[in-house]
Structure 1
Amino acid sequence: MNVEEARERILSAAEDLYYQKGYSAVGMDELRTTAGVSLRRLYALFPSKDDIITAVLDRKHSEWESGLTGRVASAPDTARERLLAIYAYLEEWFTTESFRGCAFINAFGELGGTHPEIAALVRDHKASFQQYVTALVRDLGASDDLAAQLSILAEGAQSTAAISRDPAVAGQARSAAQTLIDSALATA
């Protein structure tokens, strides 16, 4: 197996294990076994567990952005519908069998207080989402306050759906978003 294949196997195994069990619960030996690589190869590619976690979160960030922007782009061509597509994307995600909440919120909850570099990655990811929502809200002609409200609503929906295991949370969040958007449009 070449370097790229080994790296992919490690990252895929790490992503699955961390998402199922948590970042702290998974040791390098379990990761090595699941990935089917030697411990030497694992450490050659990722000298520390933090390096693997960082690579997994970078990958999750790319997946999130790609999935979200793709879903928003497929929405009917109005700024309002593009904003509401965020919640449709959440609903699609929440209904997957593997849904265990936001990998970034999970990482911050487990590691944010002791791993400043992980906390910074999480903050950057969340800021990126906020900027994306802000751009969509500006297309609507509403204030940046609406973007903050819609972002908080989406973040809260992720946590609530993970805890309750109820994908209906996305529909509830969408309904609240509609109310916020319509109110913002009425006052604009």
Structure 2
Amino acid sequence: MNPEDMKSAWRDTTRSLSSESKGIKTADDMRHGTPLTSLERLQKRYRLFAIAGMTACPTSLIFLNQRIFPHNNGIWLAIAFAVYFITCFTMDWWLYYGIGSIDCVRMSVREVSEKAMFYRKRHLQFVMILIPFALILFGWLAYVNSGDIYLLAGMATGAFFGLAIGLYHLSQFLRDYKNIE
């Protein structure tokens, strides 16, 4: 290969690298409708779930309303639901920062894959902690209000739709993790 061909090849490589670096998304790109990567989608979802957990925490104060829940368990239900939502917030926020620590540019493929598998495993472990916690709260609330057929029907309907929505979001999380690995 002569020197002119080498210079031309080097220029082509530089042009190729600069065009590929334009593919790296910045915060401005994400705001302008550029498709998100799996890591960005995961991080966005964890942030939204963390915010939802923290904003749901004050709703546990409804159990203190004696007209809606005329029993002595209101304070304990309020505390239990607040603890549940704070736990959800903490887990999702931790996963949000963990996924945000994955840097595909500076890390090797093996490191990215290992971290993604680690956070996927933690996500599933957190789900296995939160589901029994939610079932206990659900059962406790059903037991305390066993005489109110309308509340129980509303709880059953909410449980059905909550389960469907939860399974959908879990499948979306797992799909994004699979795309990373």
Give the alignment's TM-score, normalised by structure 2.
0.33
TM-score, normalised to structure 1, is: 0.32
Task: Kindly indicate whether structure 1 or structure 2 has the higher relative contact order, using CA contacts under 8 Å at least 6 residues apart.
Answer: 2
Which is higher, the Rg of structure 1 or of structure 2?
A: 2
